[in-house]
Amino acid sequence: MDSDGSQGSYPERATIRDVARAAGVSIGTASKALNGNGRLKQETREKVVAAAQALGFRPNAMAQSLHRAKSMTVGILTTDSFGRFIFPIVEALEERLAEHGIAVFMCNATDDPVREKQHLDQLLGKRIDGLLVTARRMDTRPAIAVPGKSMPVIYVFSQTDDPDALCLLPDDQGGAVLGVEHLISLGRKRIAHISGPASFAAVVLRHQGYADALAKAGLPEIDGYYRNGEWSEAWGREAVAELFDGKAEIPDALFCGNDQIARGATDALRERGLRVPEDVAVVGFDNWDVMTLAARPPLSSVDMNLRELGRVAGERLIAMIAGERLRGVERLPCSLVVRQSSDPTSAKPSGGLQ
């Protein structure tokens, strides 16, 4: 369904029969020309290839798909070689698609446009029924060029400026509001924000959520309390030094842009003899258990609910394959997991309160 409520459908894909008809040859001749087989005139081959390109036809790597409307496969293009964000998304996506008998091909482009184009051509050659595009960061990227726009494409944990595209993202701004409102509810009034590179879209949105929560509570955004740096524990320690060393008035809470920063910050606070959370409460972002559960104390953190993002992506993709037209930007809610870094009464360090 379009954002205006109207229904739409994707046009039928071109078949070998369509190519043969357009080129004025038999289906057998068209097949030979596209597969490089048989003894054909060069002129005939060129005519068939031109017709195929004009129709957006892609040879099917799976022979059985020639005899049915769908290949029952979808492709995933990602740049997240580390897998920190994509794996939970893909796991939930595969579970949802498997319920409909749909399999997944995943390709890693590692920020290489040439490699991405190669992967895309291979996936289209398999006549996938849909494509999911994801990344390790949520900044805007160029739209994927699908011939004739005849195939559903969804951007998940990724986005494009194409107004006809569907983009599914976590609500970074809303997640930041959750984290800061939690700190405010503890009675903290001097809340600093340590985050990553200012050029990242997620950093901008999380800072906006931080500012929104302070403004709603009537608290000032104290000059010098917003610090940008790298996504690392080292930056968390360095930022604490900038905020605390030689200062007459120090923060009573830290809202960190990710869990690595938060873990580094808690280490630095402990080294200064400051207690977490009694003296300074700390909340991170991402809820990455490698960081949150290994920190001392375990970190409270905003969870982007990546599995839910993957599940919704699967539902949207199934709907689009069935013919629905979906577009726009959907931001799915985050949640807050409270642990000991902001609440000393939190129960089990391995869990948390949702």
- What CATH number belongs to 1-57? 1.10.260.40
pLDDT at 26 (0 to 100): 87
pLDDT at 349 (0 to 100): 39
pLDDT at 61 (0 to 100): 43
pLDDT at 179 (0 to 100): 98
Provide the token pair at 285. Answer: 């972002």
What is the 8-class DSSP label of residue 155? E
Top-tier CATH class for 172-304: alpha beta
What lies within 8 Å, CB to CB, of 170 at 6+ separation is 138, 157, 304, 305, 306, 309, 331, 332, 334
Contact in structure between 298 and 329 (CB atoms under 8 Å): no
CB atoms within 10 A of CB 54: 14
pLDDT at 69 (0 to 100): 60
pLDDT at 27 (0 to 100): 82
pLDDT by residue for the chain (354 residues), tens only, comes to 444 444 445 556 788 888 899 999 888 788 778 777 677 888 888 898 899 888 888 665 444 343 346 778 999 988 876 667 888 999 999 999 988 888 988 888 777 788 888 888 888 888 899 999 998 777 788 888 777 667 899 999 999 988 889 999 999 999 999 999 999 999 999 999 999 999 999 999 999 999 999 999 999 999 999 999 999 999 999 999 999 998 889 999 999 999 999 999 999 999 999 999 999 999 999 999 999 999 999 999 999 999 999 999 999 999 998 888 999 999 999 999 999 999 877 544 334 433
Task: DSSP for 272-322, please give it.
Answer: TT--TTTTSEEEEES--HHHHTTSSSPPEEEE--HHHHHHHHHHHHHHHHT
pLDDT at 6 (0 to 100): 44
CB atoms within 10 A of CB 185: 10
Helix and strand numbers (H, E) in the chain are 11, 14
User: How many Å separate Cα 319 from the centre of its chain?
Assistant: 19
Integer Cα distance of 91 and 96 in angstroms: 9
pLDDT at 11 (0 to 100): 54
pLDDT at 155 (0 to 100): 95
Residue-wise pLDDT tens digits, 226-266: 999 999 999 999 999 999 998 889 999 999 999 999 999 99
pLDDT at 67 (0 to 100): 38
| All structural domains of the chain with their residue ranges | 1-57, 172-304
pLDDT at 136 (0 to 100): 76
Q: What ranges make up the beta strands (E) of 30-179? A: 73-78, 103-108, 130-133, 140-141, 153-156, 159-160, 166-170
Look at the alpha carbons of 132, 261, 287, 337 in this order and tell me if their dihedral is positive or negative.
negative
Taking Cα atoms as reference points, which of 4, 329, 315, 9 lies closest to residue 151?
9
Integer Cα distance of 174 and 332 in angstroms: 9
Contact in structure between 136 and 104 (CB atoms under 8 Å): no
